[in-house]
Amino acid sequence: MRANIGFIGLGMIGGSLARAIRRSHPDSYILACDQDLPVLETAKKEKVIDEICPEINHRFRCCDYIFLCTPVGSNIQYMERLKKYLSEDCILSDVGSVKGMIHQQAAQLGLTHCFIGGHPMAGSEKTGYDNSKARLLENAYYILTPSENVDIRKISDYTELVSSLGAIPLVLTHQEHDYITAGISHLPHIVAATLVNLVRELDTEDEHMKLIAAGGFKDITRIASSSPDMWQQICLENPENISKTLDALIRMLIQTRYQVDQKDAQGLYNIFSHARDYRDSIEILPEGPLRRSYILYCEIADEPGGIATIATLLAMEQISIKNIGIIHNREFEEGVLRIEFYEGCDCEKAFEILKKRNYIIHTR
CB atoms inside a 10 Å sphere around CB 41: 12
8 Å CB contact between 28 and 45: no
Residue-level pLDDT, tens digit, the chain, 364 residues: 789 999 999 999 999 999 999 999 999 999 999 989 999 999 999 999 999 998 899 999 999 999 999 987 889 889 999 999 999 999 999 999 899 999 999 999 999 999 999 999 886 666 788 888 888 888 888 999 999 999 999 999 999 999 999 899 999 999 999 999 999 889 989 999 998 999 889 988 888 888 877 667 777 787 788 778 888 888 888 999 999 999 999 999 999 999 999 999 999 999 999 988 888 777 655 444 445 678 888 888 767 788 888 989 999 889 988 888 876 544 444 457 889 888 888 999 999 999 998 888 887 6
- Closest alpha carbon to 15 in 92, 126, 90, 146: 126
Strand partners, 39: none
pLDDT at 215: 62
Q: With the CA atoms of 128, 81, 175 and 135 taken in that order, what torsion angle do they form, in degrees rounded to the nearest 10?
A: -30
pLDDT at 287: 46
What is the rounded distance in angstroms from the CA atom of residue 23 to the CA atom of residue 267? 52
DSSP 90: P
Amino acid at 306: G
pLDDT at 20: 94
Which residues have CB under 8 Å from 24's CB, separation 6+? 164, 165, 166
- Closest alpha carbon to 81 in 91, 65, 68: 68
- In 178-205, which positions are buried (b, 16+ CB within 10 angstroms) versus exposed (e)? bbebbeebbbebbbbbeebeeeeeeeee
What is the rounded distance in angstroms from the CA atom of residue 96 to the CA atom of residue 94? 6
What is the rounded distance in angstroms from the CA atom of residue 38 to the CA atom of residue 301? 46
What is the rounded distance in angstroms from the CA atom of residue 1 to the CA atom of residue 3? 6
pLDDT at 337: 83
Q: 293 exposed, middle or buried (CB, 10 Å; 0-12, 13-18, 19+)?
A: middle
Cα end-to-end span (Å), the chain: 41
Q: 220 phi and psi, to 5 degrees? A: -85, -5
8 Å CB contact between 5 and 30: yes
- Closest alpha carbon to 134 in 291, 12, 292, 285: 12
The secondary structure of 324-357 as a DSSP string is: EEE-S--SS-SSSEEEEESSHHHHHHHHHHHHHT
- CA gyration radius, the chain: 23
* Angle separating helix axes 239-261 and 265-280, nearest 10 degrees: 140
